[in-house]
A and B are shown apart, each in its own frame.
Chain A
Amino acid sequence: MTEAEDALRRWAEAGLIDAETAERIRQFEAARRREARPGIAIPPGERPGLVEVLLYLGIAVLSVGVFALFAQGWSGLQSLPRLLAVGIPAAFALLVGALLRTLGEPGYRRGAQFSWAAAVALAAGTVAVLLYEYEPLGISRDDDQAAMLIVAGVAVALALLLWALNPATFQVIALAGSLFFLGQAIGNWPESFSARLAALSLVAIGTVAILLAELGALSPRPAARAAFAVVLAFGAYQPGFRDGGSPWELLAFVAAAALLGLGVYRASFAFVLTGVALLFIALVRAIFQNFSDQVGAPVALIISGALLIAAVLLLARLVPALRRGQPA
Chain B
Amino acid sequence: MSRLPARWFAVIVLGGLASVLVAAVVLLRLGVTDPSPPSLTRDPNPAIPGDLLYLDSGSCLVLARASGESSRSVHCTGLMPRRLFFLGQQEAGYLVSSISGETLVVVDLQSGAEVERRTVGPSDFPELLAPDGTRVFRRDDGRLDLIRDGAVTGTLSFPGLDWAPEHVGWSPDSQWLAFLYFPPRERSAELWLVSRDGAIRGTLATNATGSQVAWRIEGLPAWPAPPR
List A residues at the B interface (Cβ < 8 Å): 140, 142-146, 149, 153, 156-157, 160-161, 163-164, 167, 175, 179, 182, 186, 189-194, 196-197, 200-201, 204-205, 208-209, 212, 215-220
Flag if B14 contacts A191 (CB, 8 Å): no
B9 to chain A, nearest CB (A): 5
Flag if B31 contacts A196 (CB, 8 Å): yes
Partner pick for B31 among A179, A197, A212, CB 8 A cutoff: A197
Additional A-B contacts beyond A164-B11, A167-B7, A220-B1 (17; CB < 8 A): A140-B185, A140-B186, A142-B185, A145-B185, A146-B185, A160-B15, A164-B7, A167-B1, A179-B18, A182-B22, A189-B26, A190-B160, A192-B163, A200-B31, A204-B21, A212-B13, A217-B7
27 A-B pairs with CB atoms under 8 Å apart are A140-B186, A143-B186, A145-B184, A156-B18, A157-B15, A161-B11, A163-B7, A164-B10, A167-B2, A167-B7, A179-B18, A186-B22, A189-B26, A190-B31, A194-B32, A197-B31, A205-B17, A208-B14, A209-B14, A215-B6, A217-B2, A217-B6, A217-B9, A217-B13, A218-B10, A219-B2, A219-B7
Flag if B13 contacts A208 (CB, 8 Å): yes
B12 to chain A, nearest CB (A): 9
Which residues of chain B from 1 to 50 have any CB-CB distance to chain A below 8 Å in the complex?
A: 1-2, 6-11, 13-15, 17-18, 21-22, 25-26, 31-35
Residue of B nearest to A202 (CB): B21
Which residues from B are CB-within-8-Å of A191? 33-35, 160-161, 183-184
Flag if B18 contacts A205 (CB, 8 Å): yes
List B residues at the A interface (Cβ < 8 Å): 1-2, 6-11, 13-15, 17-18, 21-22, 25-26, 31-35, 160-163, 183-186
Flag if B14 contacts A219 (CB, 8 Å): no
Residue of B nearest to A144 (CB): B184
Which residues from B are CB-within-8-Å of A220? 1
Tell me which of A208, A212, A217 has the highest count of chain B C-beta atoms within 10 A of its own C-beta.
A217
B91 to chain A, nearest CB (A): 37
Flag if A192 contacts B162 (CB, 8 Å): yes
Which residues from A are CB-within-8-Å of B11? 160-161, 163-164
Residue of B nearest to A143 (CB): B185
Which residues from B are CB-within-8-Å of A142? 185-186
Flag if A179 contacts B14 (CB, 8 Å): yes
Tell me which of B7, B25, B35 has the highest count of chain A C-beta atoms within 10 A of its own C-beta.
B25
Whole-angstrom CA separation of A72 from B14 in the bound complex: 38
Flag if B13 contacts A197 (CB, 8 Å): no
Whole-angstrom CA separation of A194 from B6 in the bound complex: 34
Flag if A212 contacts B10 (CB, 8 Å): yes
A245 to chain B, nearest CB (A): 13
Contact A182 to B18, CB < 8 A, known contacts A145-B185, A197-B25, A217-B7: yes
Partner pick for A189 among B18, B32, B35, CB 8 A cutoff: B32
Flag if A217 contacts B10 (CB, 8 Å): yes
Contact A201 to B162, CB < 8 A, known contacts A143-B185, A160-B11, A212-B14: no
Which residues from A are CB-within-8-Å of B7? 163-164, 167, 217, 219
Whole-angstrom CA separation of A189 from B160 in the bound complex: 12
Flag if B2 contacts A186 (CB, 8 Å): no
Which residues from A are CB-within-8-Å of B9? 212, 217
Q: 4 smallest A-B Cβ distances: which pairs?
A: A217-B10, A217-B6, A219-B2, A192-B162
Flag if B185 contacts A192 (CB, 8 Å): no
Which residues from B are CB-within-8-Å of A190? 31-33, 160
Residue of A nearest to B186 (CB): A140
Flag if A153 contacts B185 (CB, 8 Å): no
Tell me which of B7, B9, B161, B183 has the highest count of chain A C-beta atoms within 10 A of its own C-beta.
B7
